[in-house]
């Protein structure tokens, strides 16, 4: 089972040999078994990959994330037809009725709000109970947009003077990087279990190839927030996203969470979420969805 991520921040030449990814750099060579790797982030301006390696990555279900000149993730490459029941799962997904979609979205939003409240609680912030109570107000399909109301309360309590749309804020740069990494992992897991990532439960933009990933990623976001809270402390006025910051955000998938009664990392949690989504669709029950739960330790 894949359990590693590869983050490239320096020029490198990548190939494959003997079932391994071969990374050649000026100071030497490193090899990683393909079967161990879940994602590759190309965060270097001069990284070259052979077509043989790209094909091998797709065959092994490895997602590839690219970044722009500002080191912001801007694209991803995913395998297709990677599940033995691809057509069967797709038929179930395309036949989903609106009531089940709405109940699944309700469960996703509640899980996100619960994790936001848990994060505030871990940081000894005020407003925990107010945010937590909003989870009980979420109806099927969230017709009252409680998700947005909870988000406003959450961000105002988590960071002082924070504006989520401020692209110059270091915290936003870190958040966007981490969210993109988790989104890519969610998309990888959905494809691995035969889902069509373009067909969402709630998100339904005709221009978005990853509507379903944007649905399932929501409860994962507070875990990214937690990492950013730690890394950005005391650096709020800085606008520089360092290599160390990018490496830290690339490693977000190795952080622990709870899924049902089990402690797993977020990478495994994406797979459990995708697998349980298929079970929920086939069983016509949103209660079958297994989403990550935050159990962050309290800040001193």
Mean pLDDT of residues grouped by 10 in the chain (300 residues)? 88 95 93 95 92 94 92 87 73 95 98 98 95 98 97 94 88 95 96 93 94 98 97 81 94 96 96 97 97 77
Which pLDDT belongs to residue 2?
A: 77
* One domain for residues 68 and 145: no
In the listed set 77, 105, 139, which residue is the last one of a domain according to the structure? 77
The answer as to whether 158 is a domain residue is: yes
* One domain for residues 33 and 181: no
* One domain for residues 17 and 147: no
Which pLDDT belongs to residue 85?
A: 72
In the listed set 77, 94, 116, which residue is the last one of a domain according to the structure? 77
* One domain for residues 157 and 267: yes
* One domain for residues 242 and 220: yes
The answer as to whether 297 is a domain residue is: no
| pTM: predicted TM-score of the whole model, two decimal places | 0.92
* One domain for residues 94 and 233: yes
Read off the pLDDT of residues 18-50 as tens digits, 9 standing for 90 and up.
Answer: 999 999 998 899 999 999 999 999 998 889 999
CATH at residue 65:
3.100.10.20
The answer as to whether 293 is a domain residue is: no
Number of domains in the chain: 2
The answer as to whether 224 is a domain residue is: yes
The answer as to whether 295 is a domain residue is: no
* One domain for residues 68 and 155: no
* One domain for residues 24 and 101: no
The answer as to whether 136 is a domain residue is: yes
* One domain for residues 29 and 164: no
* One domain for residues 202 and 67: no
Which pLDDT belongs to residue 240?
A: 82
In the listed set 77, 106, 134, which residue is the last one of a domain according to the structure? 77
Which pLDDT belongs to residue 1?
A: 65
CB 290 within 8 A of CB 262: no
The answer as to whether 23 is a domain residue is: yes
The answer as to whether 194 is a domain residue is: yes
Residue 4 burial class via C-beta count within 10 angstroms: exposed 0-12, middle 13-18, buried 19 and up: middle
CATH at residue 131:
1.20.120.920
* One domain for residues 99 and 173: yes
* One domain for residues 228 and 204: yes
Give me the domain span that covers residue 139.
86-288
């Amino acid at each position: 089972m894949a359990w590693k991520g590869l983050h490239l921040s320096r020029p490198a030449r990548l190939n494959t040999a003997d079932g391994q990814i071969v990374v050649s750099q000026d100071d030497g060579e490193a090899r990683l078994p393909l079967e161990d790797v879940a994602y590759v982030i190309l965060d270097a301006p001069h990284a070259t990959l052979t077509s043989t390696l790209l094909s091998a990555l797709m065959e092994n279900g490895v997602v590839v994330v690219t970044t722009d000149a500002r080191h912001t993730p801007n694209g991803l490459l995913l395998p297709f037809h990677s599940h033995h029941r691809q057509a069967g799962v797709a038929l179930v997904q395309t036949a989903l009725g609106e009531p089940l979609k709405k109940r699944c979205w309700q469960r996703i939003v509640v899980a996100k709000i619960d994790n936001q409240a848990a994060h505030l609680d871990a940081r000894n912030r005020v407003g925990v109970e107010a945010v937590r109570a909003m989870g009980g107000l979420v109806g099927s399909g969230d017709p009252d947009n409680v998700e947005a109301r909870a988000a406003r309360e959450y961000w105002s309590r988590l960071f002082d003077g924070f504006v989520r749309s401020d692209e110059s804020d270091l915290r936003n740069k870190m958040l966007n990087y981490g969210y993109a990494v988790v989104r890519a992992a969610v998309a990888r897991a959905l494809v691995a279990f035969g889902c069509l990532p373009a067909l969402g439960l709630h998100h339904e933009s005709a221009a978005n190839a990853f509507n379903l990933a944007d649905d399932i990623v929501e409860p994962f976001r507070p875990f990214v927030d937690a990492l950013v809270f730690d890394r950005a402390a005391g650096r709020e006025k800085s606008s520089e996203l360092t290599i160390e910051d990018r490496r830290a955000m690339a490693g977000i998938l190795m952080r622990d969470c709870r899924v049902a009664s089990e402690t797993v990392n977020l990478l495994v949690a994406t797979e459990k979420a995708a697998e349980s989504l298929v079970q929920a669709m086939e069983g016509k029950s949103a209660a079958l969805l297994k989403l990550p739960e935050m159990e962050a330790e309290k800040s001193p």
